[in-house]
Amino acid sequence: MQRPSSAFHSLRPARATRGLQIPDQSTHKYTYLCLWPLLSTVSFLCLFPATFAATVRVGVVGPWSCDPLFTKAQPGVAAQLAVDHINRDPYLSQGITFDYVILEEDCETSQAFARFLGFYTRASGFIGPVNPGYCEAASLLGKSWNKAVFSWSCIGHELDDARSHPTFARTMPLPSLVLLRFMHHFRWAHVGIITSAEDAWFEAGLKLASALRSHGMPVSIVASVRNDHTSVRKTLARVKKVADLRLVILVMHSVLIGGGTQKLLLETAYDMQMTDGSLVFLSYDTLFYSLPYHHVTQPALRHNSKLLRAYDAVLTITIESPQEQSFYQAFERAQEQGELPRNLRPQQVSPLFGTIYSSIVFMAHAVQSVRASGQWMSGGNIAQNARNLLSKGFSLQANFSDFGTLDYVVLDTDGFSWELQPTHHIEMQTDMVRFLGWPIHFPPAGPPKTDSSCWFTHGLICRGGVNLLHMVLIFLSGFLFIFFSIGCSYCIRRKISKIRMVRGPNKILLTLNDVTFINPSLSNKKLSLDDSKASDSRMSISERSLKSPLSIQSPATYENSNVVIYEGDWAWLKRLPYGNFRSITPHTSDVFELMKDMRHENVNPFLGFFHDCGVFAIVTEYCSRGSLEDLLLNDDVKLDWMFKSSLILDLIKGMKYLHHRNICHGRLKSRNCVVDGRFVLKITDYGYNEVLEAQRFPYVEPPAETLLWTAPEILRGPYPGLYGSHPGDVYSFSIIMQEVVMRGPPYCMLENSFDEIVQKIRKPPPMCRPIVSPDHAPMECIQLMKQCWNEQPEKRPTFDEIFDQFKNVNKGKKTNIIDSMLRMLEQYSSNLEELIRERTEELEIEKQKTEKLLTQMLPTSVAEALKRGTTVEPEYFDSVSLYFSDIVGFTTISANSEPIEVVDLLNDLYTTFDAVIGDHDVYKVETIGDAYMVASGVPMPNGNRHAAEIANMALDILSAVGTFKMRHMPDVPVRIRIGLHTGSCVAGVVGLTMPRYCLFGDTVTTASRMESTGLPYRIHVHSSTVKVLMELKSGYKVELRARTELKGKGVEETYWLTGRDGFTKPLPVPPVLKSGCESKDFKVMLKKAVRKISTVRQVAQITLADEGNVMIHHH
C-alpha cells in the first residue's frame, strides 16, 4: 500500500537554512525575485527552531512489480509501518515528519537508470536501488542532488569511498565480504556463480564475480539460467565441466521463500548427481534478510522429497535473529498491536519486508543524528552520520559501526528433517567464524576438497599446490624444447628456401634455360648499367637519355640486349657490378625472398636473379613506356597537370607501400621509376643496395650526376649512395617531383655543374635547392616539395602525410589516367541510362494515355482482348436495356447558330451526360449528332439490374437537362426526349481502322423508335422495360401513355417514367404539345434569341471595322 504523495517542505535543523533537496523547487529567476522575503523567513525560523516542522519523504526504490517474490515483500506495508513507528518515536520525530513513496524500478537495467532520473522531485532520500547494475550511477546522482542513497544490495567496494560517493550509505555489510569470511573459514576458493535470467539478478552476479576476483578469488564461471529444463540442464552441464570447483553461489530467489528457478535448478542438479557432496551450493539472496530458522518448518522442503535430498548440498547464510524475536514473531506481534493488516499471514510475506523496515528506520536515526549535531541537513552529512549508529530493526538490533556490521549464521539441514539448524556464527566486526556445536551435514561424497591457504593470504601469489622444483624443471624443459624447435625450424626453413630458390613456379635463381634473349649474341654483348660512369660530368640530355635502361625514342640493339622473355612475358635485366657470385649468402637469399614478396600496383615486381655465362642481373617486369626520365624528355608526349599529378601520386603510393614494409629504397631517382603501357608508374631497383651489401661488393663512389637525388645527410656520410633512410627517400621524391613539374632534369634551372651542385648540397650555406615557379604547379604542390627537401630530416613529412597533402592539392579528385577515362565512360553511361529511363517513363505515360483512350472508346474487356491481339467474337445477350435520346428542335437551333456554337452545345451537353453515366453500371455506345445511346447489361451482364440502371440514369439525365443552359442561347431551353427499351441483342467489334463496339438487333431499333415517338422532357418506356422494373419492386413510377404506333412495329402500349421512390432531384415540367410538333412558346423564345444573337454579331463586326480603321490611320 502506498500513501498519497504530498508536497514536500524543506527540512532544516535549528541552525541551518538549507536541507535535503526540495522536490518542488522554483526556478532560479523566481528564487532571485524572492530573495529578500526568503532571508527574512530564514531569520524568523532560526529564532524559533522548535516550532518549525518539516517532512522527509523516503523513496523506496525497487523492482516491486517485476517479480511476484519482490511483490511479496510488501514494500508499501513495510514502509508504512516504519514511518508510523518513527513518527510516534519522540526521539526520531523532533520537528520532523516522515513520509514515504514507493518508486518502481524498471525491470531492465538500461531503463532502470533512466527511470531513476525522474525520481529527483519525488523523494528527499532513497532506500535502494535493488538492482546493483546502476548503483554507482544512482549514487553519483545522489551526490549531484545532495540526497542520501541507502542500499543493502549494492556490491561495488568503490561506493564506500566517501570522496567519490559522499551521499551513499550501506544498510548491510558488503555481501562479497560476508562470502569471503565464509570461504576463508572453509577454504573454498574456486567458486562459480549461477544467476537467474532477470536483469537485477544477472547484474548482481556480474558485480559479485568482479568483487570476488578483486580479492583474488578464482571465479571460474558466471552463467545465467531461465526457468526451464533445457536452460537449467545446459548451464549445469557447463558447471560440471569446470575443474576444481568447490562452491556454486546461486544468485536468485531462495527456494525457501518460493524461488521457482532455484527449485528447478536443485532438482536438476540432483538428477545429474551434482549434489553428492563434491559441490556446495550457497543461496545468495538470504544474505539480505533474516530467514526464520528457530524451530521453523520449511514448507518447500516438507512437500518435496527430491528437493529435501538435493538441499542437503546447500548451505544458507542469513542474518542472525534472536530466538524470541524471529521475523514471524515480530510480524505477528505487529498484527496483534493493530499495526499490520490481519489478512496477511507471515508465511505469505517475504522476509525482505524486515529489511525494508529496518533501512527506513536506519535512515531516520541518521537524520536525527545530523539534527542533533547541528550540521547542515544534507545527503552527505546523513550518509556520514550513518556510521556508529545503534538501530533497532524489525526483528534484530544491529550496530552499524562501519556502513553496516550485522552478524550472520550458516544454516544447514540434517538431510532428513525440514528444519534448518545454525552451524556457524559469522561476526563481521571481528572477522571471526565460530562453530555453534551443530556440524554441517554433507552428502556421502562430501565435503568438497579444500583449497590452498595461499588464496586467502594477502600479498601471496598462489601456485595452487604445485611443487616449485617441478615448475623449474618444466620451465627448463620447455625452454630447451622451444630452443631446439627454433633451431630445427631454422634449418628446415633454410633448406626449403634453398630448394625454392632453384625449383618450383616461384623460383628465384634463373639461368639461360629459363629466359630467352631477344638478341641471341649475348656472349658478345654486355648488359647495360643505369648507373654507368659518364665520361663528361656535364653530359647532355640526349646522352643521358641514351644511357637510360629503356629508351622510347629508338629501341637500339644495345638496349635490346637487356630485354628477355620469361614465362611468356617480356622482362628486364639489371646487371650487377662484377663481383664474387660463386655462392649466394643466406642474407642475400632473405633479401631476394623479401623482394619476391613485394606486391603492389606501383612497385615493379621482382621476378628473379639471373646468374649464367658470367652475367649476374636482377630480373624485373618490362615496362614498355621506359623510365620516368625518358617519358619526361620525350616531347611527343603531352603532359598536362592531370597527367603529371597521376604520375606523382603513383610514386607516392609505391613509396608509401615500401615504407610500410620497412624498406628504404636508397636509390630513388627518375631513372628507377618506370612506366608501363597503361601509364602507371612503378618503382624499381628497391633492394639493390641490400644485395650489394649482402654479397660484400666493394664500394665504388658513384658519379656526381647520380647523386643529385641524394639527401644532404647521406652525402655527408662515408658511403653516399650505399645506404638509405626514410627521410632520404622523401628528399629524393622531392627532386623527382621537381623533374615532373618542370619537365626537365634535376636542377635544370641552375648553370652549375653536377659536381658543384653536389658540393653545395653537401656543404651549405648557402643552401642549394631547385627553383620552381608557381606557373608550373599549384602553390600547395610547391609548398609540399619544399617541405620534402627540408635540410633537417626530422622535419620532412612521411609518405602517409605526403599522400594526404597531395590529395588536398587535387581536391580529393582521382588523378589516375585510366580512372579518369573510366570516369568519363561511367558518366556517359549514367547519362545514357538516365536518358533511357526518361524515354521509358515517357513511353509508359503515352502507353497509359493510349490504353485510357482505348478503354474510353471500347469496353475494358474488349480493349484488353484487342491489346493481347486476340479476336473479339460477337456475343449474344438475352436481356439488355437501351437508352436513346435526342434534342427537340436541334435542326432549328443549328440553323440559327454558328458551327462552333453547335459543337460547344453538344460538347457541354454530352459532358454533362458523361458525368451522370459514371455513377451507373452502364456503357456509352455512341453519339451521332444530337443522338445519345447508352446500354446496360452489355458487355458485362448484370442480371435484371440493367433496367434499373438505365431507368435511374435516365431520371438523372433528365434532371440535369432541366438546369442546362446553352452558352450562346441561355434563354432557350434544351429539351430532350428519351426512349427506353429492354430485349436481346448481339454486340461485337466492327472494323479494324477506328474499331467500334456496336449493338445489333430488333431491340436497338425499338429503342430508337421509343425515342423518336417520345415528347420533350419525357422518358418514353416500352412495356418490356416496365415489366422488368415492376419485377424489381424498387418503386418506379410509370404512367400509361396509351397505345402508340411505332414505325415498323405497329401499335403497342407504352408508358411514361415519371419518377422513383426516394428520387428527390427536380425534373423539368414537360410542355403541353402534340407529338412531333414544336410548341409556340419554344418558337417565340428561339426567335428572340436569334434576334439577340444577330444584334450582338453586328455590333462585333462594327467594332472590329472601327479598330481596323484606327490601325490603318495610325500607319
Average pLDDT over residues 94-123: 92
Under the banding of pLDDT at 50, 70 and 90, the label for residue 516 is confident
- Is residue 111 over pLDDT 50? yes
pLDDT at position 478: 87
Q: Residue 674 region, left (φ>0) first, then alpha (ψ -120 to 50), else beta?
A: beta
- Is residue 50 over pLDDT 70? no
Under the banding of pLDDT at 50, 70 and 90, the label for residue 1103 is low
CA-based Rg of the chain, rounded to a whole angstrom?
53
pLDDT at position 271: 94
Written in H, E and C, the secondary structure of 187-253 is CCCCEEEEEECCHHHHHHHHHHHHHHHHCCCCEEEEEEECCCHHHHHHHHHHHHHCCCCCEEEEECC
User: Per residue in 637-685, pLDDT tens?
Assistant: 778 888 888 899 999 999 999 999 989 998 999 999 999 888 899 999 8
- Is residue 965 over pLDDT 80? yes
Under the banding of pLDDT at 50, 70 and 90, the label for residue 1080 is low
pLDDT at position 889: 87
User: Per residue in 293-349, pLDDT tens?
Assistant: 988 889 999 988 999 999 999 999 999 988 777 888 889 899 999 899 988 898 899
Q: What is the dihedral of CA 768, 774, 777, 779, to 10 degrees?
A: 90
Fold match flag (28-411 vs 509-532+543-815): no
Please classify residue 705 by burial: count the beta carbons closer than 10 Å to its beta carbon, then call 0-12 exposed, 13-18 middle and 19+ buried.
Answer: buried
CATH of 509-532+543-815, one of 1.10.510.10, 1.10.3720.10, 3.30.160.270, 1.20.1740.10: 1.10.510.10
pLDDT at position 1100: 56
The dotted CATH code for 863-1090 is 3.30.70.1230
Return the DSSP state at 7. P
With CA atoms as reference, report the closest residue to 789 among 763, 768, 804, 808. Answer: 768
Which strands, in side-by-side order, build the sheet including 432-435? 219-225, 191-196, 247-251, 280-283, 314-319, 407-412, 421-427, 432-435
Q: Is it true that the peptide bond before 1071 is cis, omega within 30 degrees of 0?
A: no
User: Per residue in 684-696, pLDDT tens?
Assistant: 989 888 888 887 7
pLDDT at position 1071: 83
In one letter, which amino acid is 627? S
Highest-confidence segment of 817-831, 843-857, 1046-1060, 1074-1088: 1046-1060
As a whole number of angstroms, the distance between CA 345 and CA 1038 comes to 87
Is the torsion defined by CA of 390, 391, 396, 400 positive or negative? negative
Is the torsion defined by CA of 37, 38, 39, 41 positive or negative? positive
**Strand 314-319 to 280-283 pairing:** parallel
95-99, 576-580, 955-959: least confidently modelled range: 576-580
| More confident call, 850 vs 500 | 850
Under the banding of pLDDT at 50, 70 and 90, the label for residue 417 is confident
- Is residue 602 over pLDDT 50? yes
43-57, 525-539, 804-818, 986-1000: least confidently modelled range: 525-539
pLDDT at position 824: 52
All three cell numbers of 713: 645527410
As a whole number of angstroms, the distance between CA 250 and CA 257 comes to 14
- Is residue 227 over pLDDT 70? yes
Domain 28-411, what fold? Answer: Rossmann fold (3.40.50)
Under the banding of pLDDT at 50, 70 and 90, the label for residue 581 is low
As a whole number of angstroms, the distance between CA 158 and CA 1077 comes to 113
- Is residue 525 over pLDDT 60? no
User: How does the average pLDDT of the chain come out, rounded?
Assistant: 82
- Is residue 249 over pLDDT 90? yes
pLDDT at position 553: 34
pLDDT at position 485: 85
CB 314 within 8 A of CB 332: no
- Is residue 862 over pLDDT 80? no
As a whole number of angstroms, the distance between CA 405 and CA 398 comes to 7
- Is residue 434 over pLDDT 60? yes
With CA atoms as reference, report the closest residue to 658 among 599, 728, 712. Answer: 599
- Is residue 259 over pLDDT 90? yes
pLDDT at position 818: 62
Highest-confidence segment of 250-254, 644-648, 738-742: 250-254
CB 56 within 8 A of CB 366: no
- Is residue 495 over pLDDT 90? no
pLDDT at position 819: 61
Average pLDDT over residues 951-962: 94
With CA atoms as reference, report the closest residue to 706 among 543, 532, 551. Answer: 532
Percent of the chain topping pLDDT 90: 44
Under the banding of pLDDT at 50, 70 and 90, the label for residue 459 is low
Q: Beta-carbon neighbour count of residue 530 at 10 Å?
A: 20
- Is residue 27 over pLDDT 90? no
Highest-confidence segment of 257-271, 331-345, 374-388, 1062-1076: 257-271
Under the banding of pLDDT at 50, 70 and 90, the label for residue 1111 is very low
User: Per residue in 943-953, pLDDT tens?
Assistant: 889 999 999 99
pLDDT at position 324: 72
- Is residue 523 over pLDDT 80? no
355-364, 402-411, 712-721: least confidently modelled range: 402-411
In one letter, which amino acid is 22? I
Average pLDDT over residues 948-975: 91
- Is residue 1051 over pLDDT 70? yes
All three cell numbers of 689: 643496395
Q: Beta-carbon neighbour count of residue 943 at 10 Å?
A: 8
- Is residue 354 over pLDDT 70? yes
pLDDT at position 170: 92
CA distances from 933 to 242, 488, 807, 939 (A): 94, 106, 77, 14
CB 409 within 8 A of CB 317: yes
| More confident call, 872 vs 431 | 431
562-566, 868-872, 993-997, 1069-1073: least confidently modelled range: 868-872
Contacts (Cβ under 8 Å, ≥6 apart) of 918: none
Under the banding of pLDDT at 50, 70 and 90, the label for residue 5 is very low
Under the banding of pLDDT at 50, 70 and 90, the label for residue 47 is very low
Sorted by where each begins, the domain ranges of the chain are 28-411, 466-495, 509-532+543-815, 816-857, 863-1090
All three cell numbers of 674: 618506370
